[in-house]
Amino acid sequence: MFSEAYSAIVQGIEGRIIHVEADVSNGLPCFSLVGYLSSEVKEARERVRIALRNSGFKIPPKKITVNLSPAGIRKDGTGYDFAIAVAILAAFGIIRKEHLDSTVLIGELSLDGKSKAVRGVLPMVYTAYEHGMKYVIVPKQNIREALFVKGIGVIGVESLEEAVMVLNCNEPCRFVCKGVNNNDVLDLCWKEKREKIPGFEDISGQDMACRAAEVAAAGLHNFLMIGAPGTGKTMIARRIAGIMPEPQFSECMEISKVYSVAGLLTEETPVMQERPFRAPHHTITQTALAGGGRYPKPGEISLASGGVLFLDELPEFNRQALEVLRQPLEDGYVNVARLDGNCRYPAKFMLVAAMNPCRCGYYPDRRKCTCTPVQVKNYLGRISTPLLDRIDICAETVPLKLDEVNPAVNRKKETSEEIRKRVAAAHEIQKERYKNEDFMFNSCLAPSGIRKYCVLSKEAEDYMESILGGMSFSARAYHKVLKAGRTIADLEGKDLIGKNHIAEAVCYRGINDKYWREGRE
């Protein structure tokens, strides 16, 4: 007696269908699981056996062999329990087989036959939809996450008995969860009010740094702030996510896949509707930042994809951890290579970093700075030139005057909502411009795209030629200036990049020369 059921596995953030084959024959009674299995999958043998018994199913003493195919892929996790149990019951004739070919089963079983939630449900359900499956059966705890995928019938069950009832009925569609449509799927997924992000109106002074943050958010450029302690660097960074437009459905899907694989989605927060903001501590390891481990998981780089990765006190981070950022900043993804195969995680994040100019924090103000030139040089030297070249925009935060911090002084400050409208308009311009490309933002432009889309006015070309000789620009830095200028022009709704746009972009690069050239002299 042979039967087959279907489950799914997650590789990176993408799913793959797994065939669960069960064979029952005469011979010495035993229960064998094969198919390149991890220890938690091998333990499914005892979980399934006891869950079947406690669910009231009497299994005759037979030789039971279950194979998880393809056998060349390592199977991890506990999400195969349902498929294994159903395949065995179908082999004994307890479950009808006509619906098994169009159903994917995902979930862990407790010893009493109840279902338990598993992580990575979202990419697995999406894979089932891509393979043309009609139904996917998941634990009730994962139902809201699974409903994020449109076009497939999602059935939530609380126990193995309930799953058997669904598969033995003539019309499983009667059990499909209702209430989600194409237009308001995101609104229905979040019943709780979104946490309010603090606004730019709370920031005193720092007009240049706030403007630089707006330009960075408009083009998804990497952004570095440097200045004395207490000048508002962290405050600005934590408000950048609030001026970025809400992600589109496709972006929400990719962000939610990463969080699903990492096990960070819950029944209360089944999908990611907002752009993530991640701020790891400077003691983070290389693996925790980039992802990986014995059983690969996404790191902070991937968890920030589609949003902001904020590195406060940048020079205090481990040098090797910082160098890990270089390839993801250019390519937009992280490759984790292991003996069993490679995992690719998205890394389309906006890097925002903040740092002091020296260990005491007050360089180049020699009235306050107590560091020697060698100490300043060593501190700034913790940030490598290749990493600095990958930062498009650098801004300086200056000490505030008394009237700027005095709460009694009435100051008119732009709100985050006003800034967000300009940023959203710039995003729309870029999406229309790059509708035939595989990217959406100016920061992603390759050299060939820069020649095509970063068209300078004659005045801007002459200006670029005049300043190139006086500044130590690498080829990458030159391209960064053009991309930042393209974003500044988009904020003003201009097709051509003008001299004023280039001048502002060069100003953001000039901060690097001020500190790193002076700090090394």
Q: Is the pLDDT of residue 473 over 70?
A: no
Query: Measured between alpha carbons, how far apart are the two ends of the chain, in Å?
Result: 80
**What is the average per-residue pLDDT within 46-65?**
93
Q: Is the pLDDT of residue 32 over 90?
A: yes
Q: Which of 50-59, 74-83, 170-179, 240-249 has the lowest average pLDDT?
A: 170-179
Predicted local distance difference test score (pLDDT) of residue 183: 39
- Is the pLDDT higher at 292 or at 502? 502
Q: Is the pLDDT of residue 516 over 80?
A: no
CB count within 10 Å of CB 68 equals 24
Predicted local distance difference test score (pLDDT) of residue 193: 40
Same topology, domains 2-185 and 200-404+414-520? Answer is no
- Is the pLDDT higher at 270 or at 223? 223
**What is the average per-residue pLDDT within 473-502?**
89
Q: Could you write out the DSSP letters of every residue in 339-406?
A: TTEEEEEE---EEEEEE-SSSSS-TT-TTT----HHHHHHHHTTS-HHHHHT--EEEEE-PPPHHHH-
With cut-offs at 50, 70 and 90, classify the pLDDT of residue 272.
confident
CATH node for 2-185: 3.30.230.10
Q: What percent of the chain has pLDDT over 70?
A: 91
Where does residue 372 rank: exposed (0-12), middle (13-18), buried (19+ CB within 10 A)?
exposed
Q: Is the pLDDT of residue 514 over 90?
A: no
Q: Is the pLDDT of residue 194 over 80?
A: no
Which tens digits make up the pLDDT trace of 414-461? 888 899 999 999 999 999 999 988 888 998 888 889 989 999 999 998
Which tens digits make up the pLDDT trace of 203-256? 888 889 999 999 999 999 999 999 999 888 999 999 998 899 888 888 888 999
CATH superfamily of the domain spanning 200-404+414-520: P-loop containing nucleotide triphosphate hydrolases (3.40.50.300)
Q: Which of 154-163, 170-179, 276-285, 492-501 has the lowest average pLDDT?
A: 170-179
**What is the average per-residue pLDDT within 261-290?**
89
Compute CA distances 242 → 245, 373, 431, 480, whole Å: 8, 39, 20, 24
With cut-offs at 50, 70 and 90, classify the pLDDT of residue 87.
very high
Q: Which of 8-12, 193-197, 479-483 has the lowest average pLDDT?
A: 193-197
Q: Where are the domains of the chain?
A: 2-185, 200-404+414-520
Return d(Cα 47, Cα 42) in angstroms, integer.
10
Omega within 30 of 0 (cis) for the link into 364: yes
Predicted local distance difference test score (pLDDT) of residue 93: 92
Predicted local distance difference test score (pLDDT) of residue 188: 44
Q: Is the pLDDT of residue 191 over 60?
A: no
Predicted local distance difference test score (pLDDT) of residue 519: 46
Predicted local distance difference test score (pLDDT) of residue 185: 45
Q: What percent of the chain has pLDDT over 90?
A: 56
Q: Could you write out the DSSP letters of every residue in 487-502?
A: HHHHHTT-SSB-HHHH
- 3-state SS assignment for residue 337: strand
Q: What is the pTM of this model?
A: 0.86
Q: Which residue's structure tokens are 């069960």?
A: 22
Please give the structure tokens belonging to residue 357.
């100019």
Q: Is the pLDDT of residue 187 over 80?
A: no
Q: Is the pLDDT of residue 181 over 80?
A: no
Mean pLDDT of the chain: 87
Which tens digits make up the pLDDT trace of 321-345? 999 998 898 888 998 877 666 788 9
Predicted local distance difference test score (pLDDT) of residue 7: 96
Select the highest-mean-pLDDT range: 80-94, 198-212, 455-469, 470-484: 80-94
Please count the CA atoms within 13 angstroms of the CA of 499 that sit on its side-chain side.
9
Nearest C-alpha neighbor of 120 from the set 92, 99, 86, 149: 149
- Is the pLDDT higher at 130 or at 195? 130
Could you give the angle at which helices 499-512 and 475-491 cross, rounded to 10 degrees?
130
